[in-house]
Structure formats: structure tokens, C-alpha cells
Amino acid sequence: MNCLRKELVFFLFSAILALGSTEPGTIRWCVLTAAELQKCLDFAGNATENNIHNGLQCIRTSSALDCMEKIKEGKADAVTLDGGDIYSAGRCYGLVPAAGECYKNNESLIYYAVAVANKLQDISMETLSNMSSCHSGMKRTAGWVVPVGFLVNRNIITVRNCDFAGAIGSLFKQSCIPGIKDLQYDPLGTNPQNLCEGCGGAGDGQSVCANSSFERYFGYAGAFRCLAENKGDVAFVRHSTVFENSDGTNSAPWARDLKAADFKLLCEDGSTAPVWQYTTCNLAAVPAHAVMTQASRRHQVFRFLDNAQKRFGDNAGGFQMFKSSDYGDKDLLFNDATTRLVAVQQSYSSWLGQSFLTALQAFDCEGPCYLEQ
């Protein structure tokens, strides 16, 4: 069965599920891709087999925005979002966090957005002009929102008429920002071409600068690969990205021989630091991804997830809810670095925290829903 046919089957299956009857209390989860749908269906089947209270139903949606709308309308119940989308979900759709991801070696429910460079490169956050940059994706928190917000707030770039892409294109000689030429982000085709010139696509000349894993430099690992393969001088990623793709932790050919000690962090004050000093050398503390839902469903959503993680949180012999490698992709339903989920009773703004909200304020000209996708 080819990929297109398989995706069509998955999509039709999810549509049938969505149209079928839903048991009272069933958690309806939004998925965006065929791979995510397959993992969700496996999750649902395993939850049923193990008598996990409530059960799970998978709802295929076209975008994070579509999912937020469905949850607001009561047609879906939950989705895991990153910091930027949490802002939109809370501010524009009235959703609240029900659970937060807790990551390896990080019990504080935050991660750090960092700028990484080759250890031998003469570069700092104050000397980025005419350099090359690698970003995890357009509008993504660590790859776009935090670094661009930092550059605006420090007056390193000047944004006129809300043209952030133009300002970044003037700062860097070349970049890879997957998705920046997509119609939804560049409806008039005016975003600078150099913001995609560092991208590699799928290796056959296709999907260059695509806002998906078809672009080899998409996502955290992709942005770091962009740096490692000398397509950029700086990569804007999550603090754990270097460790997840070096010293033998990633067996992919491009990462196999990388050493964490060969890279450094660029600090806010213009200095640099070893990659393990991310708590003091970073661009912002970013809230962990959170499962968003309606306030009336918050307790029920977390109860299901808590029961599920007790069975599938670390099940070496069966389904693992925090593992995506079996589905040929990464970070499906939850971030793969997640070790457990914790209950959240905060508002979306309290969950985001002041450090991240400060970065968001740089985008005020775009309005509160600027991160909608």
C-alpha cells in the first residue's frame, strides 16, 4: 500500500470513528497527521483492552487552529500544544491546560529556548548580522517566537509594518525557516527568498522549506542537523536538542559522530557557555507543552491521561504513549522526551510565565491570535 493510499485509509477511518457513537466520557483527541492518527488508534485500542476509564477516540483535524475551534465547539476534547499555540488556545478560544509534560532531567515543567553554535565559531547574539541561521519551523516557539522576540526586544532588528520575516531576512544572509514561504504565512509571496536558501528538502529537490518532516531541517533535530551540516552558523532549538542528537544518542548517519562538547550556547548578554549550562545561558524559559481542553473537561481529561500513563508511560514490552519511533515520526500526541504528565490547575497565562510572555509581546502588532496555524 503506497503512502497516499495509506493516509487516505487512515483519514477515512478517523472520519468513520468521528461519526460513530461516542461513549459518555470518552476523550476525543485531535490528531493532525496519518502517523499521529495511527498512534492514537493504537493508544485507543490499548486503552480499551486495559479497561482504562473513559476511553479514547481519535478525531482527524487539518490544523492546530481547526482543533482549537472543535474543542471550543465541543466537537473534540483535547490536544497537546506548544507554548505559542497555548497562548492562542487560551486567549482566543478560552481553553485551559489540563496536563503538562514533564521532561527528562527537568522536573520544573519548563524547557529552555537556546541558540547553539559550533564551539570554534566566532559568534555571539550580538554579532549575528550576515550570519546564517537554522530554525525549527515558522511560528514554532524555540525556533521562531523566542529568538525573534529576543532580537526585537534587544533592538537587534527593527520591524516595520509588522514585517518580521523581512527584518530577519535583512539580518541573516541565509536561513532555513521551514514553512516561511507557505501561503498562510506568505500570502503575497513577499517573504525574503534567503529565508529558505539554507534548507535541504527531502533530498530529491522536493519539499524544500516545507513546514513538515519532509524538509530534512524541520523541527528541533532538523535545525540542529542544519547547523551540524554547516548550513547555518546558529541553530535556535530546545536545550535538550544537542544531547538528544550527539554522543551516540541518535544513530542517524548525520548525528552518529557528533559530540556535545563541540558545540556552545550563545547567551543573552553576548557571552557564550558550554551546552550543559542552559539554565543560565538561554534566550527564555519556555513552558512545557500542555494538553489543552475546555475548563469543564479538565478533570476528566487528566484522569484518563493519568490512568493511561500508569499503564503505558514506560511499557518496554508494549505500547508506549511517550514514544513515536514505531510510527516513523517524532513527538506524536506527546513530546518524545516526556517522562510523565502532571495535573495543571493554572490559567494559560500563568502556565506560560512572564519570561515567555515577554517574548510574545514583541508580536503585539499581529494581534493575540498571531500563532494560529
What CATH number did the domain enclosing 324 receive? 3.40.190.10
pLDDT tens by residue, 93-108: 999 999 999 987 555 6
Examine the fold and report which residue of 285, 308, 336 is the final residue of a domain before the chain moves on.
285
- Domain-located, residue 357: no
- Domain-located, residue 369: no
Shared domain check, 126 and 260: yes
Count of domains in the chain? 2
Examine the fold and report which residue of 231, 256, 285 is the final residue of a domain before the chain moves on.
285
Cell for 145? 517566537
Shared domain check, 140 and 263: yes
Shared domain check, 181 and 199: yes
Q: Which residues pair with 340 in a beta bridge?
A: 102
pLDDT of amino acid 23: 55
- Domain-located, residue 367: no
pLDDT of amino acid 304: 97
- Domain-located, residue 372: no
**Residue 27 and residue 78 in contact, taking contact as beta carbons nearer than 8 Å:** yes
Shared domain check, 145 and 181: yes
Calpha distance 280→196 (Å, rounded): 31
Task: Identify which of 58, 59, 24 has the alpha carbon closest to the alpha carbon of residue 41.
Answer: 58
Q: What is the pTM of this model?
A: 0.72
Calpha distance 113→309 (Å, rounded): 27
Structural domain of residue 310, as residue ranges? Answer: 3-103+290-348
Give the torsion sign (CA, 229, 139, 290, 154). Answer: positive
For the chain, count helices (H), then strands (E): 10, 13
Q: What is the DSSP letter of 297?
A: G
Shared domain check, 216 and 335: no
Task: Identify which of 84, 81, 80, 156 has the alpha carbon closest to the alpha carbon of residue 115.
Answer: 156
Shared domain check, 281 and 150: yes
User: Which string of b and e fits 345-372 if b means at least 16 CB within 10 Å?
Assistant: eeebeebbbebbbebbebbeeeeeebbb
Alpha carbon distances (Å) from 351 to 20, 87, 96, 290, 315? 35, 10, 9, 9, 29
Shared domain check, 123 and 43: no
pLDDT of amino acid 219: 92
Cell for 24? 459518555
Alpha carbon distances (Å) from 188 to 84, 181, 258, 279? 24, 10, 40, 40
DSSP strand pairing (132-135 vs 234-238): parallel
- Domain-located, residue 306: yes
Calpha distance 258→365 (Å, rounded): 40
Shared domain check, 324 and 211: no
Quick count: other Cβ atoms within 10 Å of Cβ 13? 15
DSSP strand pairing (234-238 vs 110-118): antiparallel
pLDDT of amino acid 12: 42
Examine the fold and report which residue of 255, 285, 315 is the final residue of a domain before the chain moves on.
285
**Residue 117 and residue 266 in contact, taking contact as beta carbons nearer than 8 Å:** yes
Shared domain check, 260 and 164: yes
pLDDT of amino acid 361: 82
pLDDT tens by residue, 328-342: 888 899 988 899 999
Task: Identify which of 290, 175, 286, 281 has the alpha carbon closest to the alpha carbon of residue 233.
Answer: 175
- Domain-located, residue 303: yes
Q: With a cut of 50, list the residues of the chain below it in pLDDT.
A: 1-22, 371-373
Shared domain check, 301 and 233: no
**Residue 80 and residue 31 in contact, taking contact as beta carbons nearer than 8 Å:** no
pLDDT of amino acid 108: 62
Quick count: other Cβ atoms within 10 Å of Cβ 316? 6
pLDDT of amino acid 330: 82
Helix (H) or strand (E) run with residue 72 in it: helix 64-72
Calpha distance 42→230 (Å, rounded): 39
Shared domain check, 274 and 315: no
Quick count: other Cβ atoms within 10 Å of Cβ 66? 17
Residue type, 219: G
Calpha distance 363→293 (Å, rounded): 25
- Domain-located, residue 354: no
Tell me which residue has cell 519539499: 207
Cell for 137? 519551523
pLDDT tens by residue, 167-226: 999 999 999 999 999 998 999 999 999 999 999 998 777 899 998 888 999 999 999 999
Shared domain check, 197 and 53: no
Q: Please, which residues have CB within 8 angstroms of residue 171's CB and are 6 or more apart in sequence?
A: 128, 129, 151, 156, 157
- Domain-located, residue 31: yes
